[in-house]
Amino acid sequence: MDVLLVDDSKTMRMLVQRAIRQAGYRSLSIGEAENGVQALETMQKEKPTLVLSDWNMPEMSGIELLQSLRQGGNKTPFGFITSESSTEIKDLAMSSGASFLLTKPFNPDDVQTALEPFLGGC
Amino acid sequence: MAEPKPFTIAQLFSGLSGRTVNFTQILKAPATKAKQVYGVYLVKPMDATRVVQLDLPLLGSFGGALLGLPASTVAERIAAPTLDEPMRDAVSEVLNVASTIVCIDNRAVFQTMHIGTEALPKPIAESLRNPAFRSYFNVTIDGYEGGSFSIFAPV
């Protein structure tokens, strides 16, 4: 699996997948999870190159997922795609080990810029 | 509180929907006969409430644009007694993304969506009668039905 997409909105998972394809990453293997708990379960079986996660989700939020991964020694690159845009949230994301925070709404260029350091050019 | 600018809101929704969206601020409450939808937000760190009220056809237009549905299909879907799951999920996401402009001074987190005035929790419905802040807009979206959009800060 190249990318694990974590968002409680099926619509947003579809939009992110579409943006990833439009950014030129047409052959990536993309897995999905509806919240942090599902993502942790998936990551016990799979080792994605990159995790893309929403912030606010039921069961386990994106920041809780990231903190759980880092506390367990998992260093998989992690980026947020969220409607959260305040400085305090960005600071918390980065200090917890996130590589980037992409604010909704986004376009394929934004996605390509964010993904390229981890997935290479396309 | 700082007022969200029409251009800023329009930019957000244009970016989200991929359509040209225009917000025009109006002084009086819009005279609309459309079914109303309410998005309730929690503003941090003071735990204040903020409410977005908009026409269901307008919210359906944004949701339909996200899903790639034509306007005629959107009209059929929102005319149904209950929204189907894909449309409900899409319009919820529209309200979630709107949290960015609901409060520009502080962080707002989308909490719940209520379709129809009768579905709005009573304390919130009562607080909307005399809000501390209100902002009204007429909205157009290219290729879809527009409508009215309001932001309230209940007392």
In a domain, B14, yes or no: yes
pLDDT tens track for A48-103? 999 999 999 999 999 999 999 999 999 999 999 999 888 899 999 999 999 999 99
CB contact under 8 A, B16 and A105: yes
Distance from CA of A67 to the nearest CA of B (A): 20
Phi/psi at B2 (5° precision)? -70, 135
What residue ranges do the domains of chain A occupy?
A: 3-119
pLDDT at B23 over 70: yes
- Report the pLDDT value the prediction gives residue B104, as an integer from 0 to 100: 79
Considering Cα of A105, then B92, then B19, then B67, what sign does the dihedral take?
A: positive
- Report the pLDDT value the prediction gives residue B133, as an integer from 0 to 100: 87
In a domain, B1, yes or no: no
CB contact under 8 A, A9 and B96: yes
- Report the pLDDT value the prediction gives residue B64, as an integer from 0 to 100: 97
- Report the pLDDT value the prediction gives residue B1, as an integer from 0 to 100: 61
ipTM: 0.86
- Report the pLDDT value the prediction gives residue A122, as an integer from 0 to 100: 63
CB-based contact (8 Å) between B104 and chain A?
no
CB-based contact (8 Å) between B52 and chain A?
no
Q: Is A29 exposed, middle or buried (0-12, 13-18, 19+ CB in 10 A)?
A: exposed
In a domain, B76, yes or no: yes
Total domains present in chain B: 1
CB contact under 8 A, B100 and A11: no
pLDDT tens track for B118-131? 999 998 998 888 88
What CATH number is associated with residue B131?
A: 3.40.1550
Q: Which domain holds residue B134?
A: 6-25+34-153
In a domain, B90, yes or no: yes
Across the interface, of A56, A104, A105, the residue whose CB is closest to B109 is A56
Q: Residue B132: how many CB atoms within 10 A of its CB? A: 11
What is the pTM for the complete model shown? 0.92
**CATH node for A3-119:** 3.40.50.2300
Phi/psi at B29 (5° precision)? -55, 135
- What are A63's two structure tokens? 């920041």
- Report the pLDDT value the prediction gives residue B83, as an integer from 0 to 100: 94
- Kindly report which listed range (A11-25, A88-102, B100-114) carries the lowest average pLDDT score: B100-114
In a domain, B115, yes or no: yes
